Amino acid sequence: MIGAIRRAWDNFRGAGEAAVTVPPMDGALRPNRLLEDAPEILGVATPDDIVTDGKVAYIAAGHQVLRLDLASRQSAPAHSYDAEITALALSASGVLAVALADDRIVLENRSAQSMPVKLRCVTAMTFTGEQELAVTQGSETRSASEWKRDLMERAATGSVHSVDLKTGSNKRLATGLGWPYGIVKTADGQIVVAESWKNRLLVIGGDGTPKPLLGDLPGYPARLSPAKSGGYWLSVFAPRNQIIEFIQREPEFLRRMMTDIEPDYWAAPTLKPSATFLEPLQGGAQKHFGQLKPWAPSRSYGLVVHLDRNFRPTAGYHSRADGRHHGATSAVETPHGVLVASKGGDAVLLLDPSARSVAREQLGEH
């Protein structure tokens, strides 16, 4: 009862979940060009997820998993499937788990087998033991490719599961989430999840109650991975936008848009930079004197964030509105640098984490 009254009051005042304010990228997330300037070590269409053991990296791209030797930077196909790959995980012993859009989870580098687990929309996975996977399910009703529709509908049917790889049994750890898109196990054994549509990170308690760790992010968070410093890497696949958040609160306009217009042209986040005048943010709103400015309004962006042990941002690496390396969906640290999947830029990047401190010194920051 109290919750319903609070929501009605927020709707009247334009506060709480009814607010359309978007936090600025400032402080540790001050914009720069470090992700845009990162070298492309592999050109591949729509790379989505990356896992590594420090010597080789496995990259999910469409229906293929590519194996990248980190020392030589040579890549080759490792596995192919008849369905699109939606997530990867790699165990300490080298077992590769591959989630597919047809609801299967396949184990490679062991005796390859399909797990008898039915999860409609796997978005991220991590091994919590050699025989156990923690899995995020983005939605109960939508496939991974329908993420844009799920966002605009403001759905919250996502969940977190623990899968026993011996038996295939599935234990649900949390429900009612808005597209959980990243998951990591902390040093003290806790499970932390990136909830994209709520723009926040959550820790999953033992009673299944999610507790906020970091909220009101300026974009939609994707996958999480450990950093050597004891912190974490968080990829942010698109920016928040006041126009988009306003439209989500206008049911009739939203219904007409989603019924009459192709999804590529919705006023919704996207992974790729603007390429046509048919898109909702047209040239007149973005360009001045024929030039696209880095601070122009944009439905796509590139951002990788370094978090400390307490999941607080310490550094950001950006590809701004005028860049190409947008749609960062995964970032993993290796001895050679941080590999970043730029799904919108059709490239795997090698980011130098020390570039942030160099840039700060050049700007005179302290």
355 pLDDT higher than 90: no
List pLDDT tens digits, range 249-258.
899 999 999 9
Residue 251 neighbours by CB under 8 Å, 6+ apart: none
Mean pLDDT, residues 355-362: 52
359 pLDDT higher than 70: no
List pLDDT tens digits, range 148-194.
999 999 999 999 999 998 888 889 999 999 999 999 999 999 999 99
Containing H/E element for 137?
strand 132-137
Q: In the prediction, which pLDDT does 120 show?
A: 86
Domain ranges for the chain, please list them.
Answer: 27-65+241-366, 81-216
Q: Tell which residue, 16, 66, 29, has the closest CA to residue 44.
A: 66
Contact 233, 221 (CB under 8 A): no
Question: Which residue type sits at 8?
Answer: A
pLDDT bucket at 17, cuts 50 / 70 / 90 = low
Q: In the prediction, which pLDDT does 134 show?
A: 97
pLDDT bucket at 280, cuts 50 / 70 / 90 = confident
List pLDDT tens digits, range 310-339.
999 999 999 999 999 999 999 999 999 999
Q: In the prediction, which pLDDT does 309 show?
A: 95
74 pLDDT higher than 90: yes
pLDDT bucket at 272, cuts 50 / 70 / 90 = very high
DSSP code of 95? P
35-39, 66-70, 168-172, 251-255 — which is least confidently predicted? 168-172
CATH code for residues 81-216 = 2.120.10.30
Q: In the prediction, which pLDDT does 364 show?
A: 46
1 pLDDT higher than 70: no
DSSP helix/strand/coil, 45: coil
Contacts by residues 23-26 (CB-CB < 8 Å, ≥ 24 positions apart):
23/216, 23/217, 23/218, 23/240, 24/218, 25/218, 25/303, 25/316, 25/318
> Is 0.95 surpassed by the pTM of this model?
no
List pLDDT tens digits, range 90-137.
999 999 999 999 999 999 976 545 555 678 899 999 999 999 999 999
CA-based radius of gyration for the chain:
20
Q: What is the dihedral of CA 47, 53, 179, 23, to 10 degrees?
A: -80
Q: Tell which residue, 217, 254, 224, has the closest CA to residue 238.
A: 217
List pLDDT tens digits, range 178-237.
999 999 999 999 999 999 999 999 999 777 789 999 999 999 999 999 999 899 999 999
